Amino acid sequence: MANRHMARIMDLLQPVMGLCNKKRTLLDTIPFPFFSRPFPWVPALKQPHQYTGMKNYLIPLCLLLISFAKAQTLLRPENVFDGETLHPSWVVVTKDNKIHYVGPEKGVPSPKPQQEVQLPGATLMPGLIEGHSHLLLHPYNETSWNDQVLKESPVERAIRGSVHASRSLLAGITTMRDLGSEGAGYSDVYLKGTIEQGLVNGPRLLVAGPAIVATGAYGPKGFHDGVTVPLGAEEASGVDECIRTVRKQLGNGVDFIKIYADYRLQKGGEPHATFSVEEIASMVATAKSAGTYVVAHASTPEGMMRAIMGGVETIEHGDGGNGEVFALMQKRGVALCPTLAAGEAMEEYGGWKKNGGPEPDRITAKKKSFQLALEAGTQLVFGGDVGVFSHGDNFRELELMVEYGMSPLQVLTCATSKNADLFHLNDRGRLRTGLLADIIAVEGDPLQKIEKMREIVFVMKDGVIYKNTGDE
């Protein structure tokens, strides 16, 4: 093995070695002070144009460059889902961190890839783009939301977040939109940074930081007015304060702005619209001027209408949406992230056993509103509000989107190419030449059976393989 690799290296070096044997070469055009000592461990040449022994300096340099270069990799699955269409017997070639070729194997360009990954029986597809997560939360049946915000330190929550990020990546999530730190300040911004530095494995993150809520409209609640408690989001009221808060959060590193267009003003009360259309529009305009966008938590018709009229790009949850609201969303190009899995998880924590008893009113109502959104042609987002339930179980949202009325093709398109489009990510979400090599494979064909999304057998992010069960 070692001899074969060395022979290959020497073959690659032959053209350079030939240059070294000539009296005058292209090396003459390189300023000598630069070339004479390219690395501290290479001794300087005694005379500027004396090329005797130049091989001694070029060989280590070329070996170093070759060692840093990533070989092309050919991925050979049963099928390729490119984010829009299924293609039997196609292959994908990656080079460095980009997709180099997608199509029939006979069309693979020369030179042939040096590495091959066999994925028999598997479907290769773009890495999933999770649209609504909370990496700094963990399931509420383990610890209530109040206790996570009040009793778990930001340090503990960041450590948990790093574990959650790794689980998410291995579950096929290569990009994740995180919708608020829920009382942990800018810990999501810092977690994103550690992933980008390679200190922690995880998806590419888009983070919202603390999020913004109308004054008095968020928890934890239930304390007398003499007690100051950490809040799950940053408060603001009035146009000027809303603008100031948006600018501050963007300055602290968030990628987009999340607001709460409605919420409960009192513990145990019903949700009501909070921010005015004018306040929302001011935050949207401020975010747009900085090159980003606003999303809104909203579950009441009035809160959703205000958010839509104010110019947000996605509505999160939307439980109380009606035909009029969804028609307006479709008309204005506002997408719905329904977070079906979180709703079912909360009912299960309350004692409901799916398929084992009467369906809760909340689930019945959610199915109805989801159908209304489908009938209106509202663009849908794949995003389960993971964190309410276990990180790594993102497949739950995919399965429920099918159960509630979508086809597997529609759902997988949402989770890849359409989420990429909605989130302004034109470098991913499809298997296409030149895009990022964020690629996963699942056992079998998930377009026939969405439950196959539980069986992730291969994960590549940025051209690096993080999971390949065939090697285990």
363-420 per-position pLDDT tens digit: 999 999 999 999 999 999 999 999 999 999 999 999 999 999 999 999 999 999 999 9
Q: How far apart are CA 366 and CA 171, in angstroms?
A: 26
Residue 66 has pLDDT above 60, yes or no: no
The residue whose two tokens read 């034109």 is: 426
| Domain 75-126+430-472 of CATH type 3.40.50.300 | no
Residue 344 has pLDDT above 60, yes or no: yes
Domain range annotation of the chain: 2-68, 75-126+430-472, 128-427
Q: How far apart are CA 343 and CA 363, in angstroms?
A: 7
Residue 317 has pLDDT above 80, yes or no: yes
> Residue type for 44, please?
A
Q: How far apart are CA 334 and CA 311, in angstroms?
A: 8
Question: What confidence score (pLDDT) does residue 468 get?
Answer: 97
Indicate the average pLDDT of the chain.
88
Question: What confidence score (pLDDT) does residue 6 get?
Answer: 43
* 3-class secondary-structure state, position 121: strand
Residue 53 has pLDDT above 90, yes or no: no
What is 334-371 written as a DSSP string?
-EEE--HHHHHHHHHHTT--TTSSPPPHHHHHHHHHHH
Q: How confident is the model at residue 124 (pLDDT cuts 50, 70, 90)?
A: very high
Residue 11 has pLDDT above 80, yes or no: no
242-247 LR contacts (CB < 8 Å, sep 24+): 242/212, 242/275, 242/279, 242/282, 242/283, 242/286, 243/282, 243/283, 243/286, 245/212, 245/283, 246/212, 246/283, 246/286, 246/287, 247/286, 247/290
Encode pLDDT of 155-177 as tens digits: 999 999 999 999 999 999 999 99
Q: Are strands 73-81 and 90-95 parallel, antiparallel or unpaired?
A: antiparallel
What is 389-435 written as a DSSP string?
S-TT-THHHHHHHHHTT--HHHHHHIIIIIHHHHTT-TTSSS--TTS
**10 Å Cβ neighbour count for 241?**
15
Residue 189 has pLDDT above 70, yes or no: yes
Question: What confidence score (pLDDT) does residue 267 get?
Answer: 78
Question: What confidence score (pLDDT) does residue 471 get?
Answer: 75
Edge-to-edge strand order for the sheet containing 128-133? Answer: 128-133, 173-178, 204-207
Q: Are strands 439-443 and 234-236 parallel, antiparallel or unpaired?
A: unpaired
Q: How confident is the model at residue 58 (pLDDT cuts 50, 70, 90)?
A: low
Max mean pLDDT among 4-13, 18-27, 56-65, 302-311 falls in 302-311
Question: What confidence score (pLDDT) does residue 369 get?
Answer: 97
Lowest mean pLDDT across 128-142, 168-182, 265-279: 265-279
Residue 30 has pLDDT above 50, yes or no: no
Q: Strands of 179-307 (E only): list them.
A: 204-207, 212-214, 234-236, 257-260, 262-264, 271-273, 294-298
Q: How far apart are CA 248 and CA 313, in angstroms?
A: 21
Are 245 and 212 in contact, with CB atoms under 8 Å apart? yes
Question: What confidence score (pLDDT) does residue 231 get?
Answer: 82
Question: What confidence score (pLDDT) does residue 284 get?
Answer: 98
The whole-number average pLDDT for the span 210-235 is 84
Q: How confident is the model at residue 181 (pLDDT cuts 50, 70, 90)?
A: very high
Q: How far apart are CA 272 and CA 22, in angstroms?
A: 81
Sign of CA dihedral 9, 14, 20, 26: negative
Q: How far apart are CA 455 and CA 449, in angstroms?
A: 11
Residue 329 has pLDDT above 90, yes or no: yes
Question: What confidence score (pLDDT) does residue 385 get?
Answer: 98
| Cα–Cα–Cα angle for 414, 348, 234, rounded to 5 degrees | 65
294-316 burial, b for 16+ CB within 10 Å, e for fewer? bbbbbbbbbbbbbbbebbbbbbb
**10 Å Cβ neighbour count for 447?**
18
Stronger pLDDT, 81 or 22, i.e. the higher one: 81
Question: What confidence score (pLDDT) does residue 391 get?
Answer: 98
Which tokens in the block code for residue 274? 């909070």
Q: How far apart are CA 375 and CA 323, in angstroms?
A: 8
Q: How far apart are CA 324 and CA 468, in angstroms?
A: 47
Stronger pLDDT, 397 or 29, i.e. the higher one: 397
Question: What confidence score (pLDDT) does residue 70 get?
Answer: 52
CATH of 128-427, one of 3.20.20.140, 3.30.1780.10, 3.40.50.12710, 3.40.50.970: 3.20.20.140
Cis? peptide before 111, omega within 30° of 0: yes
The whole-number average pLDDT for the span 293-312 is 98
pTM for this structure? 0.85
Question: What confidence score (pLDDT) does residue 68 get?
Answer: 39
Q: What do you get for the CA distance between the two ends of the chain, in Å? A: 21
